[in-house]
Structure 1
Amino acid sequence: MLSYHFNVIPVLEGTWPIILQSVFTSLPYTQTCSCCVLQVTGGKFILKNCDLRFINYLKFKRITMLTFGITIVRHGETEWNKKGLLQGQAIDSSLSDIGMQQAEAAGKYLKDVKFTNVFVSDMARARQTCEAIVKHNSSCSGLEIVTDPSLKERSFGSAEGGLVVDMKNMATAAGQSWLDFTPPGGETIEQMKMRIKEFLEHLFQRMVADHCRPGQRETGMPEGALAGKPDDGTRDVPAHALVVSHGALIRVAMRYLVDELKCPLPQGLDMSHVIALCPNTGICRFIFTVTKGDAGVTLSAIRCVFINRCEHI
């Protein structure tokens, strides 16, 4: 790897990291798990640790990067949850008394965590949970709450309204794992992954539009051991989205982030945590870095902070 020098129009002085990885958009050149540095000084830029193919692609192009957090919360308990029944999309139930208490507890736990954006499923149980969290959080005052149907629960087809154990028995009879089993008329895991991918693409674009400013310096991916605090991983990021959704969707999202986007797990977590059902008002948190260039907004880096934290309930 060499350094390359070009005379260009004077631009902002500084040193800028460039991550050579694309997830959602195919670039002419992609080099996984490698990076180069763009150093700007005296009206010239120097690209270090890159090869010529990537230099040719990046030459004279402006790239913006943003690192931000996403905190994902499952809705509180409903009477259907309590009875072990599948709600899916057809049954738009409200929170039970215990579910309201859980939502209030989540709101108090997250009350000092700064959020800059809020996204929520269009189903009642998620909206009620989101309202309780936002109510306790002063940083959410005046924020737009974006209701997004792509965050709704999985459709379980003919199994909706029945017992969870009955769906597990259906999967066993079909010779499949119940985590991957699709009841007749239900939504497949691949369809759910597509929904999650589309939501993330929309969220990335929204975060960049809301929080990237000309001349803004990239903060970088925060590191450090967990302190067991509600704001773990987000104290040094410029933006942070709250996302309130549902158990089955969150479980598939965790698998998608780890299996397909290759998100590394922190020490102490393994795949058993990834595939476990998130408890009511359980909390997951990830840190993302995205890059905005001529190819659009693409994911550059991802880190898991924690999965299914529930010490508030």
Structure 2
Amino acid sequence: MTTFYLVRHGKTELNLSLRFQGGEIDSPLLPIGIEQAIQAGRYLSDVRFDAVAVSTQKRAMDTANYILKENNHLDGLTVRYQDKLREIKFGKREGAEIDHTDEQTAYLRQRPDLYDPTAFGGETIDSLVSRSTETIEKLSEEFPEGTILIVAHGVLLITLINSLIGKEKAKWREGGPLANTSVTIVEKADDYKLISFNDISYQTTTEEA
């Protein structure tokens, strides 16, 4: 059985300003985002990871670094940076203010089976889930009895988690959005099983720092 710890990156400037932050844009972690990552690291400090896979975007890499600095079992541990764990691409909407009255934005959040990003050159949900699932499958094959840390992004993680546990496409955003630096645990034996979801019980900082 492979155990995956899936963590969303810490809060960023674009998260705060409610702008599209997809796979082709980055913004720095806020002080609160750094603190969230440190607290997540302390929460997971005694977990012995066999591998770490991180999105190649800076907000995820920085979050992973803060988490791992708190870990007590780093000897021999390697971190893999994976393009296939980058956030969904929003095309021309990258960095734009989110319009909550927009039809495609509503579909992305509530009915991903209807989401069509063609008009603005974005990435499809099917593409996102395909590439992220491929990464998870390869890790589960390589570490069939391992414990794996994944640090990635909100849309990627919620759609990946829901698809892995067998939900239909229309419900791939169910339970989202994931909180920044939330921890979700999924086990892979014959099938994928959700153990804990969107856990931020360890967080003690709630105000901007």
**Which TM-score band (shorter chain)?**
0.7 to 0.9
- Farther off after superposition, 181-190 or 76-85: 181-190
Question: 1:116 corresponds to which residue?
Answer: 50
Over 3 Å counting, the alpha-carbon distance change for 1:204 and 1:239 in structure 2 is closer
Equivalenced residue count is 195
- Deviation at residue 272 of structure 1 after TM alignment: 9.8
What is the distance in 1 between the residues matched to 2:72 and 2:107? 43
Q: How much identity, in percent, do the aligned residues show?
A: 31
Q: Determine helix, strand or coil for the equivalent of 2:193.
A: strand
Aligned counterpart for 1:312 among listed residues 183, 202, 208: 202
Counterpart check, 1:256 vs 2:157: no
| RMSD (CA atoms) | 2.1
Q: Could you say what secondary structure the match of 1:169 adopts?
A: coil
TM-score between both structures, scaled by the size of structure 1: 0.58
Counterpart in 2 of 1:191? 127
SS at 1:162's partner residue? coil
Which consecutive residues of structure 1, in runs of 5 or more, have no partner in the other structure?
1-66, 209-237, 262-270, 290-299
Specify which of 161, 182, 192 is matched with residue 302 of structure 1. 192
Moved over 6 A (4+): none
**Conserved in 1, the CA contact under 8 Å of 2:129 and 2:163?**
yes
The SS at the match of 1:203 is helix
Q: Which has the larger radius of gyration?
A: 1
2:63 maps to a residue whose letter is T
CA contact (8 A) 1:109 1:312 kept: yes
| Mapping for residues 219-230 of structure 1, pairs under 5 Å | none
Normalised to the residue count of structure 2, the TM-score between the two structures is: 0.85
Q: CA deviation at 1:301?
A: 2.7
Deviation sequence 1:263-307 (CA, Å, 0-9, x none):
xxxxxxxx7984311110011101112xxxxxxxxxx23221011
2:184 corresponds to 1:284: yes
Structure 2 counterpart of 1:126, from 60, 63, 85: 60
Q: How far does the alpha carbon of each residue in 1:154-211 deviate from its partner, in whole angstroms, 9 at most, with x for none?
A: 10112211122x1x32226x9x623322332001111112112211222123214xxx
Contact 2:84 2:132 in 1 (8 A): yes
- Higher helix fraction (1 or 2): 2
The structure with the largest strand share of the pair is: 1
Letter paired with 2:177:
L
1:113–1:135: structure 2 CA closer, same or farther, 3 Å change rule?
same
Once the two structures are superposed, what CA deviation does each residue of 1:79-137 show, in whole Å capped at 9, x if it has no partner? 11011111112212221111111110100111112211111000000001101111111
Partner Cα separation in structure 1 for residue 146 and residue 165 of structure 2: 22
- Conserved? CA contact 1:254–1:275, under 8 Å: no
Question: What pairs up with 1:21-170 in 2 under 5 angstroms?
Answer: 67-164=1-98, 166=99, 168-170=100-102
Of 90-99 and 276-285, the range deviating more from structure 2: 90-99
Q: Kindly indicate whether the alpha-carbon contact (under 8 Å) linking 1:88 and 1:154 is maintained by their aligned counterparts in 2.
A: yes
The residue type equivalent to 1:159 in the other structure is: R
1:78 partner letter: T
- Contact 2:159–2:173, Cα closer than 8 Å, also in 1: no
